[in-house]
Each structure stands twice: as C-alpha cells, then as structure tokens.
Structure 1
Amino acid sequence: MTAIVDGNIVRLMGAVLSSEDSYQGLEGFSAADVVFALAAIPDNEGITVHLNSGGGIASEGAAIHALLRARRGRTDVVIEGIAASAASLIAMAGQKVTMSAGAVMMIHDPSGFTFGNSADHTKTIDALEALATAYARVYAEKSRKSASECRTIMKEERWFSPQEAVAAGFADAALDSGKITASAFDYRRFKHAPQHLMALATAKNWTLPKSREERKETHMTTPEKGAADAAKKAAADRLKAILRADEAVGRKDLAEHLAYDTDIEADAAINIMAKAAAKIEGDVEEEQEFRPRRANAGADGSGAPRMNAQGLNGTPLNHNPGKRDRGGTNLVANMKRRHGIKE
C-alpha cells in the first residue's frame, strides 16, 4: 500500500491498483487503501492529498474520487510529478488543485481489456462508454467546460504542463519551485506521452501489473498451454483407467499405489492388478462370517459383545501393533514385492 497518512496530509503514490493487486504488495494504492487512510483523519477536518501517479484502473480512480468528494472537511490536492489517466480524475476531487513545478497532468478516455466472445467485448464497450461519460462530467464540473468539450479532450489524450492545466481550468495554481520526479509508471502505454517520460520508463524498466483479463489472455495464448492441457488430461485419464478398472475392485490399496505412487501406464497397472487378483483369489480362504471374539463376550456368557473403544473402532483386543495382520493388507504388500513395486 502506498497511501500514507502524515497528520492531515495523505500521500498517494504509484499506480492506481485494484484491491487484489494492492493486497499482493504491488507498488501503488487502491480505493480500499484510501478508505483505511481516511479513517485515520476525522471526516470534518481538512486534508491535503499529495498525488504522484501515472494512473491505472479506471474504476478504482472513480471510486477514490468519490471517496474524497464525500468528505465533509475540505480536500485540497497537490500534484507532485504526475497525475495521469485515472489519477487526473482523482485530482479533480480537490477544492484547490495545485501543480508542482515540472508536474504534468494527462486526461484521456478510459480503456480496458476483454478476453471472450463478441458479447463479452460488447459489454466492455458499454462499460467504457458509461465510465467515459462519468469522467467527462467530473472534468467538466472542475473546469467549467461542457461535458462534450471534455470528452473531446479525453479522446485526444491531452497532456498539460502546470500553466496549461491552470489555463484549461483543471488546476487552480502552479508552483514555481519544488520539482519532483514523476512516479514509477509505464508511460509507454500512452499514445502521446512526453518523450522524457517514455525515456524515463524505458531507462527504469517501469512496467505495470497486468489486469486479470490480460493475465488470462496471456495464459490462454502461450504455446505451452496446449501441451500442458494435453498432459493434464492424459494424467487424469490414466488415473481414471486404473482406479475405475474392474481389476481394482477389492484391491484399493494396490490400485491407489499404482495410480499415485508410480508412473506405470494404465494398461500395465491393470495387468498387475489382474495378476494380483488371480493370485489372491487362489491364496485367500473363503471368507468366514464375522463373529465377535469370545474375549469380548458379555459377563453373563451370552456371547453378546461388550461395547468398548477397541470394539467400536474394529481393533482386536489382542492386536499387536508391531506385527501386520494376516489378510488382504499383507497379501497386497506381497503382490507389490512380487512385481517389484516399492512401498
């Protein structure tokens, strides 16, 4: 989080992030960060927001602007370095907007990224148009221009020096000293960014975190994905073939071992289980009907079992944990050894 409170000064630095990206520790601030920062200051007290941001998530910028405008106390904004894109909208929340020497402001149309079908893209277009209309009204209220004039400026992606921002009505004052370097941001993303900012972004290797949709698109189009999906499907098919085979019935331990602990192909694993099943059927005596042990009989000699902890969990009273029980478990272990399968 880069939303710092110092008395009645709130410093917002870095990219305008989604809450998800902010929680991951990326450089910047989100609307949630601003909520926490403002909570430290009484709502009726005046604050000065020092802003240095190249922008980011358009909807987060709108949310932060609304948070600042909703305060009862006075809110002033000082732009240090840069207020571009969503950050310029945040700046409009200031009753007085001051541009530091050397600072720049940029206003443009909000943009977004969609991965999906035509209906998905249409929804994004509608959302962007609605957001752009809302942005234009905010810029118009501050500058006293019409919303259509502001929309024209937004479509052109207009960059303003301190004096130009004041002349256009988007700022109220420009300082003659106190130049501050623009915040870390990938200014190469903009169409008409000043050359010195693009050069700075290149020299510093500044990049922005990709949106969830961009991350999804990148993931969906990487050459490795097809191979990874095929491998995942093959692994799932192998597990199903082994665990659901008729030969796995009654041989759960062996089936799970072959499926999860070895790389044996499904056909080979089924063959092993078939041989194991045949051998076990030849070795195991016909199952006898379960009868309670006499040691568990009632005190009256009726043969009714006494209910105790050992009886409830099926552990024989004379069980020796140091020796394996005779029966299916031991036979499965024997079959694993016969076929060279390590436990």
Structure 2
Amino acid sequence: MSNKARPRIYNRAGKRIEVQDKSWYAVQASGEAAERVLEVFVYGEIGTWGITANQFVQDLRAMDDGVSPVIAAFNSIGGELFDGLAIHNALRRLGARCTGRIDALAASAASVAVCGAHKVVIAANAMLMIHNPYTYAGGDAEDFRRVADVLDQTLEAIIAAYKAKAPDIDDAELRRMVGAETWLTANEAVALGLADEVGDGITVKACLGQGSVLQRYQHAPAELLAQLDEPPEADPDLEFEPVDPPLVLPVVDSAKLALMITQRCTAAGISNLVEPLLSSTKLESEEIVLAGLARAKAVNDLCVAARLPEFSAEYVAAGLDAAAVRARLFDKIVTSGKGFEIDNSLPLDDDPAPKVQAKQIDQPSIWASRQAAQSGTAHGAKGARA
C-alpha cells in the first residue's frame, strides 16, 4: 500500500489489548503412554499479543505423537483473524482425534479456530460469538477501497470456516448472524451445527484481563459484563506475606490508552503510526504513551523533511529518539547522493536576538572603483578636445 503499513484484520471489536498475564496458554500431556491425551489451553487473546498461530502449531507439533487424542480448550475473546484461521486449519488436519472444547467463551477469531476441531463440545454455561471482521487503516480513497475489498474477502474466509463445521447451515442466515454480532448459547450453537455436544458447565472467568474489549462489543451479554465487577477469587493454596505499608499498583486502562493513541495520531495526520506506537509503548502507562506520541510526531517530521516518510513507522516501532533518527536519515541521504540537510532545531524563547554586525569597509575595492572612474573621465575629455 504505497509506503503505508498493511492493515491487520481483527475478527473482533476495538484495537489490540495487551495480555497482562501470559500464563494462560499451556500445552500438556496427561496419562500413561497407552492412554496419552494432549490438552491445549487457549485462555486469552489470539495473535501477536497473545498466542500466535506459529507458536500454537510449533508447541503442538513438539508434543504430538500422531495418534494421541488432542483436546483444544478455548476461553478467548478472539484476536487476529488470520491466526485464528491458521489454528482452525491446524486442528482440522488432526482429524477425528481432535476435540474442541469451549470452556467459557469462544468469540470472534476464537470461534473460527475452535470450529476446526472434528468435534466441538461447549459447556452448558459457555457462549460462542460470531461477527464481521474489523480493521483500521489510513490513506487515500484508493487505499480505503482496497482495504474494503480485503474485508470482503476475509468475510468469505470466515463464512467458509463456519460452513466447514456446519455444512447444512443456511448461508443467508449465517451471513445475517455474522453481520449482526450474534452471541450463541450452548444449545443454540449445537442447533446450528457449530457445536456437537453440550458439556457440563464449569466456573471460568470469561475475560482473563480482556474485559475492556467485551465492553466495546455491541451486544455482549449482561451476564458476561457482570463478571467484570466481580472481585477475583482468592486461591487458598497461595499464601502471601503482609506488606507494610500496603503495596498499591497503578491500574492501567489499556483500552483508554489505545484510543488515545488512535485519536491523537488521526488528529496529527499520522494514522500510519498507530500500530508502531501500540507496539513500542506497550500501553504501559499514560506517561509512556504521551512521551511516545511526542516522539512519533518528531520522528515523522524528520522523515518528511528528509523526503523519506516510508521509514517513520519503522523508526517509531524501534523506539528511536530524534537524535538517532537524524543519524540514520543522514546516512541514507549521504549514501543516496541527494545532499539534503535536515535541521529540525527550533529557537528557544529565551535565546538572545542575533547580533547584526556592520559591514566592514573594503578599501581596495573603493580605490579600484575611483581609479576606473577617473580614467573614464580623462578619456572623455581628450575626445572632446579633438
């Protein structure tokens, strides 16, 4: 897309939210060799800030003996669609020995992934959510038309994934439900063919640090949103030493910080730097995000001044400051032979006014001018006497 970052497609609402606790993902084998069962727990976001398809496939391949049953347990709000599709296909290749298990929630990309299993068991109190793909982009009209075409194509990939699991489902009805962001109960999912069996209900938190995303869905069930207000249950097996004075950790609203980055980048005309800023700041705090926004603006200005705007996203993602960017741009300009100098310095308010020096007298020039004038006068006089 002509020096613009390619859009990533998310099969869920809002922007990416970083997973604060990555201990949710695990692959384990249980039982003796003759009764070995592999369990994969996808309890969090799917994609770059959670479990990528590459990691999922590599971890599964490392433990899979080719014959043992595989259970893929999901409790996920979703994430990046293409990672979800890749996990879908990885489960599908396992054939009849693969069971997908929805322990609490399989939303968006997670619903696509779990439908790759030969058999899907959904807990009685769990839900499955399907909806349209989502992305963000920047650019001119042609860029947005291309992005719209990509979204249409990814919607077809979603429809194909669901119909591979439920071939008898009505195509028009499926598209209507996907477009309307539909939350399916266990019985509804089985009736549609997206799940095969209703299992026993278990108590599992449906958010896992991702509750802010649930709040941005249009039709998130009230019972799921209510869990956001429930205090975390204490683990009786864990004992903590008292802290004096009490340790108070700041609460970071990642969704708010991500929205701040998006809005301010849009206002500044640097929407292409949204994703690099999300990556480089990691949404750790408002102070870090504000500093990142200021740095991104300075870096972009330097790259534009150097007529090399295509490097701004790379430098922002790498966390480079203005001095480091100047050095890199200088090297690129010198090696290209353009001979273009960048001066991004601004005068300070308290800088003294520059001194204006009087022009020095050039005596030799004055003398030469007078001699030339006198010589011309003399020649004129001789001509008149003749």
Please tell me the TM-score bracket, short chain as reference.
0.5 to 0.7
Q: How far apart are residue 176 of structure 1 and its match?
A: 3.3
Q: Which residue of 2 aligns with 1:74?
A: 97
Equivalent residue of 1:221, what SS? helix
Give the one of 162, 175, 178 matched to 2:202: 178
Distance in 2 separating the partners of 1:58 and 1:79: 18
TM-score (norm 1): 0.59
Q: Is the 8 A contact 1:3 1:33 kept in 2?
A: no
Point out where structure 2 has 5 or more consecutive residues left out of the alignment: 1-21, 30-37, 232-250, 270-289, 307-322, 327-344, 358-386
Following TM superposition, by how much is the alpha carbon of 1:108 offset from its aligned partner in structure 2, in angstroms?
0.9
Q: Name the stretch that deviates more: 138-147 or 104-113.
A: 138-147
Q: Could you tell me which residue of structure 1 aligns to residue 243 of structure 2?
A: none
Alignment counterpart, residue 36 of structure 1, candidates 58, 73, 90: 58
Instruction: State the shift of 1:34 in Å.
Output: 0.6
**Secondary structure of 2:112 counterpart:** helix
Q: Is the 8 A contact 1:103 1:179 kept in 2?
A: no
Q: Structure 1 vs Structure 2: percent identity of aligned residues?
A: 27
State the TM-score, normalized to the length of structure 2.
Answer: 0.53
Larger RCO (CA within 8 A; separation ≥ 6): 2
Deviation at 1:142, TM superposition (A): 1.2
1:266 to 1:60, Cα distance in 2 relative to 1, 3 A: farther
**Equivalent position amino acid for 2:113 in 1:** I
Q: Which amino acid aligns with 1:195?
A: A
For residues 10 and 33 of structure 1, what CA distance do their matches in structure 2 show? Answer: 12
The answer to which of 65-74 and 167-176 deviates more is 65-74
Question: Using a 3 Å threshold, how does the CA distance of structure 1 residues 138 and 232 change in structure 2: closer, same or farther?
Answer: closer
1:193–1:269 Cα change, 3 Å: farther
Contact 1:56 1:85 in 2 (8 A): yes
The alpha carbon displacement at 1:72 in A equals 5.7
Which position in structure 2 is the counterpart of 1:63? 86
The total of aligned residue pairs comes to 241
* Matching of residue 195 in structure 1 with residue 226 in structure 2: no
Distance across 2 between alignment mates of 1:65 and 1:89: 6
Is structure 2 residue 145 aligned with structure 1 residue 122? yes
Q: 3-state DSSP class of the match of 1:189?
A: coil
Residues 113 and 213, structure 1, Cα contact 8 Å, conserved in 2: no
Contact 1:83/1:104 (CA < 8 Å) preserved in 2?
Answer: yes
2:172 partner letter: S
Asked if structure 2 preserves the Cα contact closer than 8 Å seen for 1:80 and 1:103, the reply is yes
1:87 is matched with which residue?
110
Where do 1:292-331 residues align within 5 Å? none
2:43 is aligned to 13
Aligned residue for 1:39, secondary structure, equals helix
- Shift, 1:49, TM fit: 0.3
Post-superposition CA distance 1:277-305 (Å, at most 9, x none): xxxxxxxxxxxxxxxxxxxxxxxxxxxxx
AA at the equivalent of 2:63: I
User: 5+ residue gaps in structure 1?
Assistant: 22-27, 241-258, 272-343
SS in 2 for 1:15: coil
- 1:242-281 matches, within 5 Å, as none
Aligned partner (choices 170, 178, 191) of residue 154 of structure 1:
178
Bigger drift between 108-117 and 67-76 goes to 67-76
For residues 57-81 of structure 1, give each alpha carbon's deviation from its aligned partner in whole angstroms, at most 9, with x where no partner exists: 1222112212222336721111011
Alignment of 1:95-106 (within 5 A): 95-106=118-129
Please report how far the alpha carbon of residue 195 of structure 1 lies from its aligned counterpart in structure 2 after TM superposition: 1.4
Q: SS state of the match for residue 38, structure 1?
A: helix
Inter-partner Cα distance in structure 1 for 2:175 and 2:295: 46
Deviation per residue, 1:236-292 (Å, 9 max, x gap): 99x99xxxxxxxxxxxxxxxxxx9xx9996986999xxxxxxxxxxxxxxxxxxxxx
Could you say which structure has the larger radius of gyration? Answer: 1
Q: Which amino acid in structure 2 is aligned with residue 30 of structure 1?
A: T
